[in-house]
Amino acid sequence: MNSRPTIIALMLAGALFLSANPASAELYKYRNKDGSVLITSEKRSDLKLIEVISASGASSKPTSKSAKSNLDKARELKQRSQSRTREKTDVAKEKKYDDIIAEASEAYDVPFGFIKAVIRVESNFNPNALSHAGAMGLMQLMPRTAASLNVTDPYDPRQNIFGGTKFLRILIDRYDGDINLILAAYNAGDAAVARYDGIPYPKTRGYVSKVYSHYRNYSKAASGE
């Protein structure tokens, strides 16, 4: 007999639970002052909460302030660790082609940091990068440009970097070292630069700005600043 009210209470609570909005429905399990257990769909501030049962059936017990603090600290440490791992990965990725870049820099008399900045913006150091327009590899060489530079495999890092650096050398000579026009032509083509008598499009202006910013950073790093 004593078990009947408890069963009815649970059935009523279950019915309320199922009829509530599935996204927010929860059951609350409380301890009455007499020691008995109450399960309800309503929050009760006058009773001690034992656990919360969500619509998915998962339950969670109230977390103490100290436990919550420890959990927050653990999450923060995990985020820091993941951030450091990502930074190390990014640094390693950026340095992976430094030897080839240095060789190409010396061969064509193009600043190391300038080449690296172009690679950073063009492909973010992904040798297999392929744009919607068909630009390929680290320095995003278009098929016709790659062919004119004798690059037979644009996805080979060495061929791509040497080809892209040779192209930068051509543009440096063509535009008398004007970094704005050099980068604008590399990004949008000579015809667009000539048509607009300068940097042609807003997207190209953004490109020039990004490359120049990375070029300055790489130059500072190389000089130890």
Active-site residue list: 122
Residue/partner pairs of 20-24 with CB below 8 Å, 24 or more apart: 20/55, 22/55, 23/55, 24/55
Residue 40 contacts residue 28 (beta carbons within 8 Å): yes
What's the rounded Cα separation, in Å, for the pair 152 and 159?
A: 8
Torsion of CA 126, 130, 132, 134, to 10 degrees: 140
Q: Which two tokens stand for residue 74?
A: 């653990």
Strand partners of residue 136: 130, 141
